[in-house]
Amino acid sequence: MRPHRTAFVVTSLTLVALVALPLASTEAVQKRSTQAQPSPPTVSLTADRTLVTICARDSSLDASRVQLRADATSPEGRTLRYKWETTGGRVEGSGATTVWDLGGAAPGRYTATVEASTVTGETGAGEPGCTAFTSAVVQVVECPPVVEVCPNISVSCPTPGAPGAPVTFSADVSGGTPGRTPGYSWTVTGGRIVGGQGTSAITVDTAGLAGGAELRATVEVEGYGPRCSDSCATSLPLPPPPPPQPKPFDEYGDISRDDEKARLDNFAAELQAEPSAQGYIVVYAAPNARPGATSKRAQYAKDYLVTTRGIDASRIVVVDGGTSSAFGVRLWIVPAGAAPPPR
C-alpha cells in the first residue's frame, strides 16, 4: 500500500507545477512591455515672415526680428525639450516659441532648425529619448536706396505796408522724402533779416530802401539731398505823390492887343489840354494907373478866353494882384486840388 501513496504524492506535485508555469510567463511579458521605448514626437515650425528687409536708416528693433513657433506633440504625452540652431543671427529663448534676430546679417538665405526631444522618466527630468526636427528658411535683403525728393515749397509774398515798415516772409513746406526734418536758410535782396533765420518765417527791415524797389526773399530747405528752394518778390510802396502845385504859364506887360491875344490863345490851348485845371489871371496895376483901368484890362482877357476861345467861364479866375512898379499880367495853370497861385 505505501508505494501507491508515494506515487500519488509525486503525481500531485507534478500537477501543481504545471498549473504555476503559465502565471510566471504572463508577468514577464508585462514587465517587458513597460520597458518599451517611447514613440517619436511630431514637430512643425512656423515663422511669422519669410522675408526680412534690413535698412540702416530704420531704427525699429522689430524690423529684423522673426517670431518662431514650434508645435510638437508626444504620442505618450511625455515632456518635450527644444533645441534651436540657426545659420545666422541669434535666437532669444529656448522654449517652443522664440525670437530670431537677424539684425546685422548680410543679405542671403538663413535657416532656423528646431529639435523636439522626449524626456524619459516619470518626472520628465531624465535623459532625452526620441527626437524630431524641422526647419524654416528666411531670406534677408537690403532695402532699396532712398530716392531723395524735394518737398513742395511755397513762399508767401506779403503786401508791404508803409514805406520803411518791416516785411514778413513765410514758407510752407509739405511732402518730400519721408522722415526728414526741414531746415531753413533765408537770403534777401534788399533789406536786412532781423528775425526768424533758421525758421519757416523771417522779418525783413526795409528802412532806407527807396519806394518801388523790389524786395526778394529766397529760402533753401535743407535735409532732403538735392537743392530745394523757392523765392518770392514784392515791391515796396511808393511814397505818396506831392500835392499838385500851380504852374506859372506866361507873364507880360502893357503890350499891344494882338500880342496879348496871341498869349491868350496859347493859354487857352493849355487849358483845353488840362480840362480839370483852372486858369488864373493875376493883374498888377501901375502906380499911376487910373482907377478901374486894371480891372477892365483883366476882364477883357477873360472875355476873350470865354467868347473867342470857348473856355468855360467858371474855369477862369481873375485876381487883383495889387500895385506893382509897372502894369503886368501873370497867367497861371492851377491843376485840380492845387492851391491858388501867389499874388
pLDDT value at residue 104: 84
Greater model confidence, 176 or 121: 176
The per-residue pLDDT for range 176-224, each reduced to its tens digit, is 998 899 999 999 998 899 999 999 999 999 998 888 889 999 999 999 9
The count of other CB atoms within 10 Å of the CB of residue 99 is 15
Q: Are strands 278-285 and 316-323 parallel, antiparallel or unpaired?
A: parallel
What CATH number does the domain located at 247-334 have? Answer: 3.30.1330.60
pLDDT reading at 338 higher than 60: yes
Average pLDDT over residues 109-125: 79
Q: How far apart, in whole angstroms, are the C-alpha atoms of residue 321 and residue 297?
A: 13
Tell whether pTM > 0.95: no
* Residue-wise pLDDT tens digits, 212-264: 889 999 999 999 988 999 999 999 888 888 899 999 999 999 999 999 999 99
The CA-based dihedral angle spanning residues 157, 162, 163, 164, taken in that order and rounded to the nearest 10 degrees: -80
How far apart CA 227 and CA 221 sit, in angstroms, is: 8
CATH class of 42-142: mainly beta
C-alpha 204/C-alpha 211 separation (Å) is 15
What single-letter amino acid sits at 324?
A: S
Please state the rounded mean pLDDT for residues 76-86: 91
pLDDT of residue 8: 27
Cα–Cα distance, 95 to 83 (Å, whole number): 8
Distance CA 186, CA 226 (A): 17
CB 5 within 8 A of CB 32: no
Q: What residues does 234 pair with on adjacent strands?
A: 215
The pLDDT score that the predictor gives to residue 2 is 38
Domain range list for the chain: 42-142, 152-235, 247-334
Superfamily the domain 152-235 falls into: Immunoglobulins (2.60.40.10)
∠ at Cα 142 (140, 146), nearest 5°?
155
CB 274 within 8 A of CB 246: no
Q: Do 42-142 and 152-235 have matching folds? A: yes
Contacts of 264 (CB under 8 A, 6+ apart): 301, 304, 305, 309, 331
Confidence (pLDDT) at 57: 66
pLDDT value at position 127? 56
Q: Are strands 278-285 and 214-222 parallel, antiparallel or unpaired?
A: unpaired
Would you say residue 121 has pLDDT above 80? Answer: no
pLDDT above 80 for 34: no
CA distance 133 to 70: 10
Q: Which residues, listed in sequence order, are joined to residue 335 by a DSSP beta bridge?
A: none
- In the chain the beta strands, taken as DSSP E runs, fall at 42-47, 51-54, 65-73, 80-86, 90-92, 97-101, 108-119, 128-142, 152-156, 167-174, 183-189, 192-195, 201-205, 214-222, 228-235, 247-252, 278-285, 316-323, 328-334
Residue 122's nearest CA partner among 75, 83, 74, 79 is 79
Task: Give the pLDDT band (50/70/90) at residue 38.
Answer: low
Compute the mean pLDDT over every residue in the chain, rounded to the nearest whole number: 85
Whole-angstrom Cα distance, residue 141 to residue 318? 100
User: How far, in Å, CA of 265 to CA of 158, rounded?
Assistant: 52
Residues contacting 200, CB < 8 A, separation 6+: 170, 171, 172, 173, 184
φ/ψ bin of 36: left (φ > 0), alpha (ψ from -120 to 50), beta (otherwise): beta
pLDDT digits (tens, 9 = 90+) for 47-72: 999 999 888 766 666 788 999 999 99
